[in-house]
Amino acid sequence: MDFLWVDFMGKPLWMWFFFIAIVLFLLVLDLGVLHKNSKEIGMAESFAFSAFYITLGVLFGGWIWWQSGPQAGVEYLTGFVIEKSLAMDNIFVIAMIFGYFAIPRAYQHRVLLFGILGVIILRGIMIAMGAAIVESYHWVLYLFAAFLVFTGIKMLFSSDSQYDVASNPILKIVRRYFPVTDKLEGDHFVVRKPDEKTGKLKTYITPLLLALIMVEFVDLVFAVDSIPAIFAITTDPYIVYTSNIFAILGLRALYFALSAMIERFVYLKYALAVVLVFIGSKIFVADMLDIAKIPPMLSLSITLGILATGIFGSLWATRNQTKKVDAE
């Protein structure tokens, strides 16, 4: 069993196996037991599962704190908070995708769950590449930091823009080269049915698969922001990957909990934009102050403060919307 202590990307193999075992257990539990059949997930169940995944992510951070020390623990928690917050922003776009394809809530969970499987693989590849690049060329961190500042400023001035699903180039390419059914075929991603011209059986993809492809594409786009953000906090691949995946694992539950009240988070994107600017500018500020890095606990506190201001400020500003709905 000595191989379990072999170093892999800065951590012994047993720590990677431990994390992978947790993820596989959660996926099997979710897909094979709790949500084996397609069904609509209620608000109470969504909040319960969301709380479960957040608690599990925080507990894992406590384990990293105990295993690798306070700095590693705080860096993980900071990364987890940022990734979870960016995942909340992702919910806005996912809701538009489901609305565009008219995906019933009963099938949305299936799309999100299979989307998670792709995310685990894609983000693993991107993080491994990012870690290798940063290790060989440390100055790349300054590019990441500048990109985050630029992205944050851009978000501040484009927060009201809507995501245009129909104009997405990936969607146009898929529709051009693959036959697509006119309507959903239950919870199937692919179906075999007679061709209208020849009468022979032909394989079609369904709008449900198109929605899944779009969700994967959107996550890839969001990863371009989120991965540099976490690398600006720590270059430890284990912390980067685990904080990413634990934040994403709860995305399904978080989506169903918040999708019905998305319009109330009017200031969330502004808060996220400020967080990106703060995380990106930390590296330059540390250089100006001639210190190695901004203290992790200070970074975590400021990040939580910005996000809490955005979330609670949004809920307070839109409090009358709930009263209007109740009155109607």
SS3 290: coil
Helices (H) and strands (E) in the chain, counts: 12, 4
Q: Which residues of 111-120 are buried (b: 16+ CB within 10 A; e: fewer)?
A: bbbbbbebbb
User: What pLDDT score does 40 carry?
Assistant: 63
User: What pLDDT score does 32 carry?
Assistant: 59
Range of the domain at 290: 3-326
Domain count along the chain:
1
CB 215 within 8 A of CB 90: no
Region at 37 (left for phi over 0; alpha for psi -120 to 50; beta for the rest): beta
Write the burial class of residue 226 (CB in 10 Å: 0-12 exposed, 13-18 middle, 19+ buried): buried
User: What pLDDT score does 21 carry?
Assistant: 93
Q: How many Å apart are CA 251 and CA 88, to the nearest integer? A: 8
297 Cα distance to chain centroid: 23
User: Tens digits of per-residue pLDDT, 197-256?
Assistant: 777 888 899 999 999 999 888 888 778 878 888 888 888 999 999 998 998 887 777 777
Question: Tens-of-pLDDT digits for all 328 residues of the chain?
Answer: 777 888 888 888 999 999 999 998 888 877 655 555 556 666 777 788 888 889 999 999 999 999 999 999 999 999 999 888 887 777 778 888 888 898 888 888 888 888 888 888 888 888 888 888 888 888 888 898 898 899 888 888 875 566 678 788 888 899 888 999 888 888 889 998 887 777 788 889 999 999 999 988 888 877 887 888 888 888 899 999 999 899 888 777 777 777 667 777 888 888 988 988 998 898 888 777 777 677 888 888 998 999 899 989 988 888 776 554 444 4
Q: How many Å apart are CA 10 and CA 243, to the nearest integer? A: 16
Q: Which long-range contacts (CB under 8 A, 24 or more apart) does 9-13 make?
A: 9/128, 9/131, 9/237, 9/238, 10/236, 10/237, 10/238, 11/236, 11/237, 11/238
